[in-house]
């Protein structure tokens, strides 16, 4: 055995955490990596040094029976040797601990992607690592790893058994690209033993609905039985629900066993999906999920509230009747009319619901499409079908059998207390239960609403919202939820007033109770007096008439009373969104979110697909300007084929432009696609999550290279998003590098106020009208004016009528809104005076908090006769 000591001071990492696929996927050899804190590389054992000529950043140490490659940093070859000083000559023999290489961490930080240093077995064949240390801080000379030299015989992996005791028996370790190898066999033996492979889950949120559906889809058409195991649970790999019920999270290990003619192909398909990611540090057990206490419904002793107060998610006014989302459970008979009869009834109901979902999916884009895809996968899930079939075989009715199948699986998911995403999938299953049982019982799905329905629920899922008839849905009131959630975004696009975080009082309102939802004031009146109800209906009629007038002038420019023109664009995530924006009077698209092309798929879109999609959006705009934001991945937008290094806080990790620069090949393809679109339509390029002017320079170089490759003309205007305090404070330097700025107020508020956008307890305090956020916007606007650059706001504040005069007063002359609000925003702008807005903005920045700012603006609008017209 060869004992290797740490050649560096730093933190030891498994290879899968190296931010480069060549190393992370084991293509360069087995080993580990160190994130260094020192600047001196030492010999981990005695041997002969071979200096590698490319850039002085890597060397090889030769010993008897093993060779070790030490590669300082990632992409350090681009430094051309700057910052590296070899301390030994090529061919020198060294002793353990001798200094080999001095390097500059500062030079690496400035010119390379990472200082993480892989230490790899590079030959000869047969050498194998028997022990290694990762997940801890090391000093120079600490034990690092032990290597069995070639010919010594690699140690056998221990057995990994399932409950059956044999299906996952140990085999020789075998690694492939994109997987962390564990017990595996190269082929099925003569006794028909299965092929085995161990994977590390790399999806950011574990095996939730979409990754699980992707796994199941990858096995379609293959003649193989595949079992996946984790946490002592076992799942049919073709079952989305069963995979979800494993509770496998990012960085956790799952074992796969495949049997049948296509077993090897099945494991290969899993390899393409399940890229390697870090396991838990040695000695630390994964937490065991504890069953959550069942939710208790409101009892009859709860006093009916008179007013529900909450956080405004979508402004507006609605008058209607309460429709609790979770209605009293329908009575379902347990006994069926015969096994075959009930099987046929269930099959027909499932097909009817499937057809309804498929029809919606055909017309859906973006987030709606992804949600419906997941629902269709759940509906076709073989595990659900098997559970229902077991119930049917015992003589139960179709409705009872399906309900029991759903609730059995939903209970498993709901018990995973540490994983909110899996608990949400349990709610998705209950949504399907309601639809299928309603179909079987001859009634309408609960998604069919009465006229003027104001839906009350603990939290409406996006999948539920898109199933409601928009002509019947008047408003939403949620006990929980957030103002920047996906449901809030969808509701805003639909023009549906919504309150969130009202508390459990909302769940006590009986069905059919008259309601007045005043989402401008942040409250809902429960059972109002007839006079109040009549007044609210009169206000609503007045607003409807005003909205009609606003729509009639929606295609006119927005010019203030003192002749200042404010451009009003739309935000879009698809060609359909752009078309909706144009119908509402948008003068262009100020933000095209390109994530709709990259999410929920197994490989990135190629240049042709991206160019076609961007061109389709441009065609809907009819020659109006199009601002295309480059991929904003990471954080709350994980991408399955782009496994990120483990992050304690993804919101502070590889997000936005950082991800694109981390994977420059993806950026290059996207830039070429945008340039192809720009040849026929007016386009701008917007870069997300920029905190360093140097990153803009890197994109400039990539854009120039893309232009040379295509032989295209001048590059489109380049802009950056102001989403962090850093970018606002550096706005002067950024303006020197770009042609325009665009403020993303959602993230700017989150990072400025140090409040997670998804945190239920903080949602009521996260408000972009906070004076601290406004001061940062002002800094950016002042820098834009000094450099004669345009500055826009594309975040949620641009769609908030209370915020618009403040933004104009801060110096913002371009707004990019959700399409439904554009006519109202334009009408408001025509009624204000720039100097008044500037005085308002100054007062807002001097306020103590966002609540004071909102009260100030409401008083300001009321004093000018604007509140009843546009608020």
Could you check whether the bond before residue 124 is cis, i.e. omega within 30 degrees of 0? Answer: yes
Please, what sign has the CA dihedral across residues 615, 617, 618, 622?
A: positive
Q: Which of 91, 44, 89 is nearest to 66 (CA)?
A: 44
Q: Give the integer Cα–Cα distance in Å for 547 and 29.
A: 65
Alpha carbon distance 368, 767 (integer Å): 26
How many alpha carbons lie under 13 Å from residue 382 in its C-beta half-sphere?
14
Q: What are phi and psi of 277, to 5 degrees?
A: -150, 165
Beta-bridge partners for 634: 637
Q: For residue 582, with 0-12 CB atoms within 10 Å meaning exposed, 13-18 middle and 19 or more buried, which class applies?
A: buried
Helices 693-710 and 664-678 pack at an angle, to 10 degrees, of: 60
> Which residue in the list 794, 813, 817, 837 is annotated as catalytic?
794
Q: 3-class DSSP state for residue 405?
A: helix
CA 567 to chain CA centroid, nearest Å: 30
Active site residue 486: yes
- The full 3-state SS of 143-204, as one line of letters, equals EEEEEECCCCCCCCCCCCCCCCCCCCCCCCCCCCCCCCCCCCCCCCCCCCCCEEEEEECCCC
Burial of 529 (0-12, 13-18, 19+ CB in 10 A): exposed
Determine if residue 593 is left, alpha or beta; phi over 0 gives left, psi from -120 to 50 gives alpha, anything else beta. beta
The token pair at 4 is 């290797």
b (16+ CB within 10 A) / e for 816-845:
bbbbbbbbbbbbbbbebbbebbbebbebbb
- Phi-psi bin for 495: left (phi > 0), alpha (psi -120 to 50), beta? left
CB 764 within 8 A of CB 501: yes
Nearest to 311 by CA among 524, 526, 522: 522
Considering 452, 486, 555, 787, which one is annotated as catalytic?
Answer: 486
Q: Copy the structure tokens of residue 181.
A: 């190898």
> Helix (H, G, I), strand (E, B), or coil: what is residue 374?
helix
Instruction: Identify the H or E element spanning 120.
Output: strand 117-123
Run of H or E residues at 779:
helix 771-786
234 catalytic? Reply is: no
DSSP 396: B
Could you give the CA distance from residue 720 to residue 741 in angstroms, rounded to a whole number?
5
DSSP state of 634: B
Q: Which residues contact 761 (CB under 8 A, 6 or more apart)?
A: none
**Whole-angstrom distance, CA of residue 544 vs CA of residue 319:** 12
Q: Which residues of 148-163 are buried (b: 16+ CB within 10 A; e: fewer)?
A: bbbebeeeebeebeee
Active site residues: 486, 794
């Amino acid at each position: 055995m060869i004992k290797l000591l740490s050649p560096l001071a730093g933190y030891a990492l498994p290879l899968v955490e190296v931010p480069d696929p060549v190393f992370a996927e084991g293509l360069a050899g087995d080993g580990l990596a160190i994130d260094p804190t020192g600047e001196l590389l030492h010999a981990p054992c005695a041997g002969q040094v071979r200096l590698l000529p490319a850039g002085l950043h890597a060397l090889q140490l030769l010993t008897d029976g093993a060779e070790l490659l030490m590669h300082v940093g990632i992409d350090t070859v681009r430094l051309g040797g700057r910052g590296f000083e070899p301390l030994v000559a090529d061919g020198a023999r060294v002793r353990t601990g001798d200094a080999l290489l001095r390097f500059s961490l500062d030079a690496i930080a400035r010119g390379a992607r990472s200082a993480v240093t892989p230490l790899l077995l590079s030959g000869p064949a047969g050498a194998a690592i028997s022990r290694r240390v990762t997940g801890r801080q090391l000093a120079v000379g600490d034990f690092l790893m032990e290597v069995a030299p070639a010919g010594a015989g690699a140690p056998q992996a221990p057995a990994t058994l399932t409950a059956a005791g044999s299906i996952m028996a140990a085999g020789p370790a075998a690694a492939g690209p994109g997987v962390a190898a564990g017990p595996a066999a190269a082929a099925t033996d003569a006794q028909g033993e299965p092929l085995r492979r161990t994977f590390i889950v790399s999806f950011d949120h574990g095996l939730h609905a979409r990754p699980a559906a992707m796994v199941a889809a990858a096995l379609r058409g293959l003649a193989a039985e595949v079992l996946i195991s984790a946490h002592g649970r076992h799942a049919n790999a073709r079952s989305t629900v069963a995979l979800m019920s494993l509770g496998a999270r990012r960085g956790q290990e799952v074992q796969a066993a495949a049997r049948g003619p296509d077993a090897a192909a099945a494991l290969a398909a899993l390899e393409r999906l399940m890229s390697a990611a870090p396991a838990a540090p040695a000695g630390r057990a994964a937490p065991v999920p504890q069953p959550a206490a069942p939710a208790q419904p409101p009892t009859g002793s709860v006093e009916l509230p008179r007013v529900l107060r909450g956080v405004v998610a979508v402004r507006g006014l609605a008058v209607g009747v309460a429709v609790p989302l979770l209605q009293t459970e329908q009575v379902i008979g347990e006994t069926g009319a015969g096994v075959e009869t009930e099987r046929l009834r269930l099959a027909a109901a499932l097909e009817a619901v499937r057809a309804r979902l498929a029809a919606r999916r055909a017309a859906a884009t973006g987030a709606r499409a992804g949600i419906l895809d997941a629902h269709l996968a759940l509906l076709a899930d073989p595990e659900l079908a098997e559970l229902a079939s077991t119930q049917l075989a015992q003589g139960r009715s179709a409705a009872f059998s399906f309900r029991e199948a759903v609730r059995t699986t939903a209970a498993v998911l709901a018990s995973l207390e540490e994983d909110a995403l899996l608990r949400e999938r349990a709610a998705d299953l209950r949504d399907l239960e309601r639809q299928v049982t309603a179909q079987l019982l001859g009634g309408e799905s609960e998604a069919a609403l009465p006229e003027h329905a104001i839906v009350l629920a603990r939290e409406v899922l996006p999948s539920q919202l898109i199933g409601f008839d928009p002509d019947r849905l008047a408003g939403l009131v949620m006990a929980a939820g957030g103002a920047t959630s996906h449901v809030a975004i969808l509701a805003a696009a639909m023009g549906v007033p919504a309150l969130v975080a009202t508390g459990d009082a909302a769940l006590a309102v009986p069905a059919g109770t008259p309601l007045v939802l005043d989402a401008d004031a942040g409250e809902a009146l429960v059972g109002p007096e007839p006079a109040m109800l009549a007044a609210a209906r009169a206000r609503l009629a007045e607003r409807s008439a005003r909205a009609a007038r606003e729509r009639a002038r929606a295609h006119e420019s927005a010019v203030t009373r003192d002749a200042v023109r404010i451009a009003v664009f739309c935000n879009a995530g698809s060609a359909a969104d752009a078309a909706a924006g144009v119908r509402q009077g948008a003068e262009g698209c100020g933000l095209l979110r390109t994530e709709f092309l990259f999410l929920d798929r197994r490989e990135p879109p190629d240049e042709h697909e991206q160019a076609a999609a961007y061109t389709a959006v441009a065609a809907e705009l009819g020659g109006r300007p199009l601002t295309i934001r480059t991929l904003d991945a990471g954080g709350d937008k994980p991408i399955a084929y782009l496994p990120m290094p483990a992050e304690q806080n993804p919101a502070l990790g590889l997000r936005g432009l950082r991800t694109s620069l981390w994977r420059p090949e993806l950026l290059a393809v996207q830039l070429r696609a945008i340039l192809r679109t720009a040849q026929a339509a007016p386009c701008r390029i917007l870069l997300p999550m920029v905190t360093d002017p140097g990153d803009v320079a890197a994109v400039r170089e990539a854009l120039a290279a893309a232009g040379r490759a295509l032989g295209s003309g001048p590059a489109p205007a380049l802009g950056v998003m102001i989403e962090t305090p850093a970018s606002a404070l550096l706005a002067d330097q950024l303006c020197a590098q770009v042609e325009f700025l665009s403020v993303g107020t959602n993230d700017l508020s989150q990072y400025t106020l140090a409040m997670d956008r998804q945190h239920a307890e903080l949602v009521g305090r996260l408000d972009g009208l906070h004076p601290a956020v406004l001061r940062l916007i002002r800094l950016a606007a002042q820098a834009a004016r000094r450099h004669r650059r345009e500055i826009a706001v594309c975040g949620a504040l641009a769609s908030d009528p209370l915020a618009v005069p403040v933004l104009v007063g801060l110096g913002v002359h371009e707004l990019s809104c959700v399409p439904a609000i554009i006519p109202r925003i334009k009408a408001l702008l025509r009624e204000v005076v720039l100097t008044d807005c500037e005085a308002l903005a100054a007062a807002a920045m001097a306020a103590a908090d966002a609540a004071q700012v909102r009260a100030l603006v409401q008083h300001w609008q009321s004093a000018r006769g604007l509140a009843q017209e546009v608020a």
